[in-house]
Amino acid sequence: MERFQRSMRAGCVYFLAVFAAECAIRPIRETFVFVGVDPLTAALFEAPAMLLVMYLAAAWIVRVFRAPMRIGPRLVMGATGMTLVFAADLLTEFAVRGWRVQESLSGLATPEGVVLGAVVILGLMMPVLQMRDRLAA
């Protein structure tokens, strides 16, 4: 139970790091869309930056929380972090744009939504990918 709780706490810190970076990067993407750049192109510019942030955040948090070299605890960490990011995105879209859940979820069916969904899935896997890097070192 202690390992599970530690993985959940690590996931919460992972969320804070990723969401803070997203709050800094997302307005840049929105500015591009506002000035006429295609939303898919803007999402493709945002994706590598977010993946880098997720990779670095996961590496740091895995070290700080001494995450075991097992897939289960690391998936809990990634799933916790990305679930909280998704929930925070829904709340942010409601607060900023007045979008309801249905409107926010319908955005996932667009090409840019697919790109951002892939980023979230990769973000979920980042703590697990840190195992590969540790084994290679």
- The confidence score (pLDDT) of residue 20 equals 95
Task: Provide DSSP, 42-89.
Answer: HHHHHHHHHHHHHHHHHHHHHHHTT--S-HHHHHHHHHHHHHHHHHHH
99 conformational bin, left if phi > 0, alpha if psi -120 to 50, beta if neither:
beta
Query: Among candidates 52, 66, 73, which has minimal Cα distance to 128?
Result: 73
Query: Among candidates 42, 50, 46, 1, which has minimal Cα distance to 21?
Result: 50
pLDDT band at 122 (very low <50, low <70, confident <90, very high): very high
- Answer with the residue of higher pLDDT: 133 or 45: 45
| pTM for the structure as a whole | 0.86
Helices (H) and strands (E) in the chain, counts: 5, 0
pLDDT band at 34 (very low <50, low <70, confident <90, very high): low
